[in-house]
């Protein structure tokens, strides 16, 4: 288990005074003090980690957020922002000595601007809520995490969330164009807007994916896209997952970027089919779902092209959806893969590494040997187009030692992803979960530079500390940069 920073005894001792002060900022039930009610916030989607927050605050206005942060900054109180709490990496895990700042009351759609193809929304609006609010205009918000009914746009911004359509339409970062941000100092800053790009440093770009550590987002402007006129999906069975992987590479090499391209392995196929009866080919070891979207002329043209490629790559079955219902049915199994796996195992642990696609065969083989070594099964669903793996490790938390084994297994998978040229996380974030693996990708200099950015926003490390970085930021120390002029390796270079 990952250890969180030691709570600050001085802060804990002042708890009732802090609660009282917060009540003067956020009235009534906006400050939650009772243990029973705080319990509802003790974890996010990474349920193996739980911590009761010191106090929960649910502000309703930017001014309240700013006042809370200003108070916390002045009193050295830590703050953990939270949206819907669906993070799978423990990004919203509370701190014993920290305020849990929930943005759940920021639920309004502020503006739908059709001429500029964007919407201005509050951070607590759900991902799907945005599309619902704009679809009458023929528009939608493209990034579609499977959690989209529940997760908030504020959480999406913090995690730079993806979804099955991000190969073609991009991640959150490519679809958010502005935010209002409150810094830990309580300053309200607008970054971006309805325009393209930045007039100075692209702060919006680093805020997206910063895991709630740089500021609290109180308003988001998202880019909207016109709803594609149609889409069809192909359900393609392969005798091996590797075969499905090679087909994906061939589709891309042929110049086709499908709307979505997902692979499931045998265990995932079986679980999903038993759960939703999507009509998946039960003889397949690897299932590939390819969705083409656009106008009918393009979709039909590309469906035919992908079918040809699939057959050339040894597909044993290939079905194209003939109706919208059938297309949705093809997806139903994939979209329900997590809960479906949940039905065949008391618990599962979802990993999120990305690998170069060409390494898929090697990685799957190594994962098989790990299954044996750890004595745990692993189902695989895979955003195949962009190489983003979601191995689901099946375990039973009630059996002594199994959670630890699952975590060790997961860490081994992620190390393997890095070893083959990939990364620790494709869309779920580092959070607490992968924090202590950061050194497999980054050395101390790399991490120090990241932390110096953090220090520019939050010099006292009060905002969501204990996440992402294996060591807490030491801003004062990092600020005193030294030059290694003593170790100059090229004495023959001309001097200044």
Ligand X SMILES: Cc1cc2nc3c(=O)[nH]c(=O)nc-3n(C[C@H](O)[C@H](O)[C@H](O)COP(=O)(O)OP(=O)(O)OC[C@H]3O[C@@H](n4cnc5c(N)ncnc54)[C@H](O)[C@@H]3O)c2cc1C
CB of 312 to other proteins, least distance (A): 15
Question: How many other CB atoms are found less than 10 A from the CB of residue 470?
Answer: 15
SS3 content of the chain, % helix, strand, coil (to 5): 40, 20, 40
How far apart, in whole angstroms, are the C-alpha atoms of residue 305 and residue 400? 51
391 binds ligand X (CB under 6 A): no
Which of the choices ligand X, other proteins, none does residue 83 contact, using the CB cut-off of 5 to 8 A by kind?
ligand X
82 binding ligand X? (CB under 6 A): yes
Q: What does residue 417 show for φ and ψ, rounded to 5 degrees?
A: -55, -45
Q: Which is nearer to other proteins, 30 or 91 (CB)?
A: 91
Residue with tokens 């992803």: 417
Calculate the alpha carbon distances from 75 to 9, 69, 78, 400, 427 in Å. Answer: 13, 10, 9, 41, 34
Q: Assess 123 for contact with ligand X (CB under 6 A).
A: yes
- Cβ(118)–Cβ(222) below 8 Å: yes
Of other proteins, ligand X, none, which one sits near residue 256, judging by CB under 5 to 8 A according to partner kind? other proteins
Selected from 133, 177, 204, 217, the binder of ligand X by CB under 6 A is 217
Which residue has the closest beta carbon to ligand X?
Answer: 155
Instruction: Give the shortest CB-243-to-other proteins separation in angstroms.
Output: 15
Contact between 131 and ligand X (CB under 6 A)? no
Mark residues 329-348: x for contact with ligand X by CB under 6 A, - for none. Answer: ---------x----------
Q: How far is CA 424 from CA 160, 211, 223, 387, 442, in A?
A: 14, 15, 28, 12, 11
Mark 132-151 with x for binding to ligand X (rule: CB under 6 A) and - for no binding. Answer: -------------xxx---x
Residue whose tokens read 């630890």: 404
Q: For ligand X, which residue of 100, 216, 264, 269 counts as binding (CB under 6 A)?
A: 216
Q: Should residue 178 be labelled a site residue for ligand X when binding is judged by CB under 6 A?
A: no
User: What does 58 interact with, of ligand X, other proteins, none (CB < 5 to 8 A by kind)?
Assistant: none
Binding status of residue 94 toward ligand X by CB under 6 A: no
Distance CA 40, CA 493 (A): 63
Q: How many CA atoms lie within 13 A of 5 on its CB side?
A: 21
Minimum distance of ligand X from residue 222's CB (angstroms): 13
Q: Mark the segment that binds ligand X (CB under 6 A) among 156-164, 240-248, 256-264, 451-459.
A: 156-164
Query: Distance (Å, rounded) from C-alpha 173 to C-alpha 162?
Result: 9
Nearest C-alpha neighbor of 175 from the set 153, 152, 147: 153
Site for ligand X in 247-306 (CB under 6 A): none
| Euclidean distance between CA atoms 395 and 338, whole angstroms | 14
| Strand 31-32, strand 55-57: pairing | antiparallel
Query: What whole-number distance in Å separates Cα of residue 113 and Cα of residue 226?
Result: 13
Please identify, using beta-carbon distances, which residue of 338 and 409 lies nearer to ligand X.
338
Establish if 427 lies at the interface with ligand X (CB under 6 A). Answer: yes
| Shortest Å, Cβ 461 to ligand X | 14
| Residue whose CB is less far from ligand X, 273 or 433 | 433
44 binds ligand X (CB under 6 A): yes
- CB-count exposure of residue 407 (10 Å: 0-12, 13-18, 19+): middle
Copy the structure tokens of residue 315.
């597909």
| Of residues 450-469, those binding ligand X (CB under 6 A) | 464
Nearest distance, CB of residue 93 and ligand X, angstroms: 8
Q: Are 194 and 118 in contact (CB under 8 A)?
A: yes
Answer yes or no whether residue 161 interacts with ligand X by CB under 6 A: yes
Tell me which of 30, 53, 59, 83 binds ligand X, using CB under 6 A: 83
Residue ranges binding ligand X (CB under 6 A): 44-45, 80-88, 91-92, 103, 123, 145-147, 151-152, 154-156, 158-159, 161-163, 211-212, 216-217, 338, 427-428, 464
């Amino acid at each position: 288990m990952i250890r969180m920073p030691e709570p600050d005894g001085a802060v804990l001792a002042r708890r009732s005074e802090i609660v009282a002060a917060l009540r003067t900022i956020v009235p009534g039930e906006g400050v939650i003090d009772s243990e029973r009610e705080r319990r509802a916030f003790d974890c996010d989607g990474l349920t193996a980690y739980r911590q009761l927050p010191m106090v929960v605050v649910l502000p309703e206005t930017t001014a309240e957020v700013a006042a809370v942060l200003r108070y916390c900054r002045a009193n050295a109180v830590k703050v953990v922002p939270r949206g819907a709490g669906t993070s799978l990496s423990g990004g919203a895990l509370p701190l014993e000595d920290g305020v849990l700042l929930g943005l759940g009351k920021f639920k309004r759609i502020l503006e739908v601007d059709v001429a500029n193809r964007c919407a201005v929304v509050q951070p607590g609006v759900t991902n799907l809520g945005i599309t619902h609010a704009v679809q009458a205009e023929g528009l939608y918000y493209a990034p579609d995490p499977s959690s989209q009914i529940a997760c908030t746009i504020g959480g999406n911004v913090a995690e730079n969330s993806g979804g099955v359509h991000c190969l073609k339409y991009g991640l959150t970062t490519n679809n958010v164009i502005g935010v209002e941000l409150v810094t830990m100092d309580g300053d309200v800053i607008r970054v971006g807007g309805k325009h393209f790009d930045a007039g100075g440093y692209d702060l919006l770009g680093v805020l997206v994916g910063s895991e709630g550590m740089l500021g609290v987002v109180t308003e988001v402007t998202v880019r909207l896209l016109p709803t594609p006129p149609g889409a069809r999906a192909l359900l393609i069975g392969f005798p091996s997952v590797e075969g499905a992987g090679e087909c994906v590479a061939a589709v891309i090499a042929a110049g086709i970027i499908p709307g979505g391209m997902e692979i499931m392995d045998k265990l995932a196929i079986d679980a999903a089919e038993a759960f939703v009866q999507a009509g998946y080919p039960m003889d397949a070891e690897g299932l590939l779902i390819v969705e083409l979207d656009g106008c009918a002329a393009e979709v039909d043209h590309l469906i035919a092209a992908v079918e040809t490629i699939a057959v050339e790559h040894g597909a044993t079955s290939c079905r194209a959806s003939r109706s919208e219902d059938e297309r949705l049915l093809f997806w139903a199994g994939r979209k329900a893969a997590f809960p479906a796996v949940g039905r065949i195992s008391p618990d599962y642990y979802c990993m999120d590494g990305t690998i170069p696609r060409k390494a898929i065969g090697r990685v799957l083989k190594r994962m098989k040997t790990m299954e044996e070594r750890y004595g745990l099964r692993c189902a695989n669903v895979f955003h195949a187009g962009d190489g983003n793996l979601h191995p689901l490790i099946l375990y039973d938390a009630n059996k002594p030692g199994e959670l630890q084994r699952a975590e060790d297994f997961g860490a081994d998978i992620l190390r393997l992803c890095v070893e083959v040229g990939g990364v620790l996380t494709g869309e779920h974030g580092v959070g607490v979960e992968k924090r202590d693996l950061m050194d497999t990708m980054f050395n101390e200099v790399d991490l120090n530079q990241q932390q110096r950015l953090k220090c520019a926003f939050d010099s006292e490390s009060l905002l969501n500390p204990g996440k992402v970085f294996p060591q807490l930021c030491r801003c004062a120390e990092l600020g005193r940069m030294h030059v290694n002029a003593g170790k100059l390796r090229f004495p023959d270079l001309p001097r200044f």
